[in-house]
Amino acid sequence: MTEIIPAAEILRVPVHPYTMAGAVRRIIGDVIAGLRIFVVTANAEIIMMGQKDEDYLQILKSADLVLPDGAGTVWAGRSLGYEVPERVAGYDLFINLLQEAVAQNLRIFFFGAAPGVAEAAKAKCEQIYPGVRIVGVRNGYFKNDETSDIIDEINSSGAEMLFAALGAPKQEVWLARNGAALSPRLLMGIGGSFDVLAGRVSRAPKWVQNASLEWLYRLYKQPSRFRRMLVLPKFVIKVLRNKSNNTG
């Protein structure tokens, strides 16, 4: 029986304060037990998307596991009085789950990213983790009328774990909308992780990650993200106001 940890409520989003090891145990345990688990790794940007879009907020609330991806989410949880032990970064969780999938002989499907990227990520994964069972790949460029065919392709592969790299909020919306028709036990959005695994995009150096400055590194590498980063101070202000209202 996997451990169930109560959620911390951050701006109406239930964030489950697992450690990385605890999150991996919970997810793999559910998959092996044949239980469906819809996982979201929530950074400040995703939480703020939920403030603007009520439908998306309801999707976040419906997820089985919402993990604190990002220094902002960890800070917010702690500021609101919750014990949030550490950041559970989406890419690192993805890699840890791949390693466990090899150990447990679980089948995986890669869905998303630009044409050729999922294939490159699959090839890299097979090089790094001999024995990994990636039973299907499909890029993330599709029309709505192709959804049924994509679901059939995923289900017919026999995959038990589905990683969708469509970017937020699209990946969570797609997984929530089609979850009942999908056979894999794990449904998880992973943003740009295929690009990183395939070597198309580089992550920040480890010391930058440890200093909680990965967002700044991304901005340095991709200045076009500046407008998106404006959400961070808004997030901080909203959390502080929420804290004040709850303690006032």
Q: Is the dihedral of CA 167, 42, 3, 63 positive or negative?
A: negative
For every one of its 248 residues, what pLDDT tens digit does the chain have, with 9 covering 90 and above? Answer: 467 788 999 999 999 999 999 999 999 999 999 999 999 999 999 999 999 999 999 999 999 999 999 899 999 999 999 999 999 999 999 999 999 999 999 999 999 999 999 999 999 999 999 999 999 999 999 999 999 999 999 999 999 999 999 999 999 999 999 999 999 999 999 999 999 999 987 665 675 566 555 655 565 555 655 466 678 889 999 999 998 787 54
Name the pTM for this structure: 0.91
CA dihedral of residues 208, 196, 104, 162 (deg, nearest 10): 120
Report yes or no: 88 and 69 within 8 Å, Cβ to Cβ: yes
